[in-house]
Chain A
Amino acid sequence: MAFVIDASVPSDSRATARTHSRPSVLGPCSSEDPAEASGAGSAGSGGGTPRRRRADSDLPVGARRSGGIALGHVVLTVAAVCSVFPVYWLFATAFRRPEDQLSQSPFPWPLSVQNFIDVTEQIPILAMMWNTLVMAFLLTVFQLLTSIVASYAFARFDFPGKSVASFLFVGSWLVPFQITMIPNYLMVSQLGLLNTVAGVVVPNLVSAFGVLLLLQHMRAFPSELLDAAQIDGRNSWQALWSVVVPNMKPALSALSIMLFISAWNDYLWPSLILRQSDALIQVGIRSFLTAEGNNWGAVMAAAGMACLPVFLLYIFLQKHVVAAFVRSGMK
């Protein structure tokens, strides 16, 4: 299922999208009716352009029409507003003054950070965020290391038992965590790690997803480079770290982003292990939600802080975050 997707946009289609000109008919692509198409066409393309065929152009399936572009903008605007409004409302409420928390005005004014101050005074939210950050970082590092080494074994060697081993990794998708959580819980309990962050980390040092994702990339790795490394007298371990890993940085950083975000956002396992501790933010926020009930300003401030690292990651690495999640699905 090697279905490589390039989400980037060919340059000439970007030009077409910007100018909104050159409508062409090679078979309509969206279900807009002719009236709508001509109406939007006059707005977008300055009317009058004779419709002609451009057989060599980079068109999507079907063809490009300015009516379709207008419709597309409408559809995407609606979807984007629906997606973003709850997020906006969260921060709008968080930045109101505590006495304005029931206000329905679309913009929080006057702005206030009092809710955030209240939260940090009521619960040690900064310590929780730090704990969660360290936990997510540790999980990312260990899952990355174990994934690199294991996928390398699959990609580079043939050995008896290989198919059994790879079946174990693929097959773990068929074991939802809820099925194994009681034995896992008992094991963590026997290790004396209940209510500790270590109890959250230790059972999750391996990501079967990470192994399978990296295996896709390792398989595509040019064997000439490995041959060259071998001729240079490097053994497989040296070749892994001096040849393979440096050349897989994009895949590895994409995987790191995904592992970090899913570690940060994980809820079920921490909520089981930390039943008497609020060390991690997901569990701590739940207690705060229950305790604070309808103190919406403070609750929204706490929820906003729980999302902060992931949002910062998204703001600074937006393209990479999206590409990581979307492309992983295409392999």
Chain B
Amino acid sequence: MFVTVAGPVRSAAEAPAATPAGASAAKGAGKTRSRLTRRTEAGLAHRSRRSPLQRSAPYLYLLPALSMLVMWTYWPLAQTFELSVYDWNMLPTSPREFVGLDNFRDVVTLPEMQRAVWNTVVYTAAFAVFSLVLPVLIALLSQQVRGRWKTFYQALIFVPFLFTPVATAAVWRWLFAPTGGAVPEVASLAGIELGNVFRDPDLAIWAIIAMVGWQMLGFGVLVVSAGIAGISPEYGQAAGLDGAGALTVVRRITLPLLSPTLVFLGLMTVLLAAQWTYPLIDVLTQGGPSNSTTNIYYLLYQFGFQNFDAGLSSAAGVLFFLAFGAIAVLYLRLTERFSFYDD
């Protein structure tokens, strides 16, 4: 069942195809160029007279990365659009049946899809608390702690961010375990009987949120603290001399100057939400109980790899892609309007 160490070694023999091919070609181009331009012109390469081979140099440099990007991101994206109008069970031997927009109609009417969309909104909003609101509060309240103490606290707070997702799932399942788990033990001291959190349709999603929030918090605190440390203290001093109170300084100076940092954290929240909820849901709840913890990312997986319904999964993926893009564009427009830069 287990592959031996030979697995990765074999891959080492196959993998280099992508880079060195382009790299050696680029090297050849570079050599030709130097012979032809012959140090007559100083300055950057694009200013010099060049042969066809020299002109292709940037493309050769780009070739490895760009070809892989097209092959494994954009070509598959096009295929997802194509698959979304077919009914197909992903078996190479079975035929694809053209069904037009039926998959899209099915997707939007499926109750689990509606539940997944709603849960995704809940997840994202809750993660914003852990990655934006709490870090801003913690960083503001602790900004006077500096030096070695600051480094010490930050080193500890950052640890969960690096935690392997499966280990996160394992340790929190133990912490929430009905028998002997630390959280139910503490809760029972306070007179609360938690039971099995991951089987409880009302509590399970909050348990997942707590776990991902635990992983996100440290990153947010460090990024916001760095952002605050980068704000020139003179603004606050000047405002203080003018009689501005603490809250006024925070609201009128710190937060506006912090806005680029907060925009970045907001984007990270959305991206990490996709990445980090999946392993926890997959290991702990499989989207249940009764779809209470599923989200869009997990549903795409279930459509494709549990129900083997490539068409349905692709249709959901297309809708998700369009919505995601629209939200991202809207988000960037809004932040362009409201962000405040100190330069």
Contact = CB atoms under 8 A, between A and B. Distances in A.
A87 to B, nearest CB: 6
Given A87-B160, A296-B174, A205 B68 contact: yes
B77 A180 contact: yes
B3 interface: yes
A303 B8 contact: no
Contacts of A223: 44
Given A6-B230, A76-B138, A182-B304, A296 B177 contact: yes
Interface string B132-148: 00000010111111111
Interface in B288-343: 296-297, 300-301, 304-305, 310, 313-314, 317-318, 320-321, 324-325, 328, 341, 343
Contacts of A306: 164, 166-167
Contact of B180 (A55, A181, A206, A296): A296
A243 interface: no
Give the size range of B's interface with the partner. Answer: 35 or more
B228 interface: yes
B124 interface: no
B174 A93 contact: yes
B285 to A, nearest CB: 13
B11 A197 contact: yes
Contacts of B187: none
B175 A157 contact: no
A145 B23 contact: yes
Contacts of A197: 3, 7-8, 10-11
A152 B61 contact: yes
Interface in A222-264: 223, 226-227, 230-231, 233-238, 261, 264
B98 interface: no
A321 B163 CA distance: 13
Given A29-B143, A226-B44, A267-B166, A182 B156 contact: no
Given A14-B148, A61-B143, A237-B30, A29 B321 contact: no
B7 A84 contact: no
Interface string A134-152: 1100100010011101101
Interface in B211-250: 214, 217-219, 221-223, 225-231, 233, 235-237, 239-241, 243-247, 249-250
B229 A3 contact: no
B43 A62 contact: no
Interface residues of A, number: 154
Interface string B141-181: 11111111111011111111111111101111111010110
A175 to B, nearest CB: 6
B141 A279 contact: no
B164 A265 contact: yes
B264 to A, nearest CB: 5
A146 B217 CA distance: 32
Given A58-B233, A235-B33, A325 B161 contact: yes
Contacts of B304: 181-182, 185
Given A62-B249, A131-B7, A168-B66, A79 B138 contact: yes
A7 B226 contact: yes
A318 B155 contact: yes
Contact of B42 (A58, A154, A230): A230
A329 B317 contact: no
A235 B80 contact: no
Contacts of A211: 65
B90 A278 contact: no
B165 A267 contact: yes
A128 interface: yes
A233 B64 contact: no
Given A80-B156, A145-B19, 5 more contacts: A60-B144, A146-B18, A175-B77, A177-B274, A180-B77
User: Nearest 10 CB-CB pairs, A to B?
Assistant: A27-B240, A237-B30, A198-B11, A183-B76, A153-B61, A72-B142, A235-B34, A61-B236, A150-B65, A14-B147
24 contacts: A18-B148, A27-B239, A29-B143, A30-B246, A55-B237, A59-B237, A64-B144, A76-B150, A87-B160, A87-B163, A142-B16, A146-B18, A147-B65, A178-B320, A180-B76, A183-B79, A265-B163, A267-B166, A281-B164, A296-B177, A303-B166, A306-B166, A306-B167, A329-B265
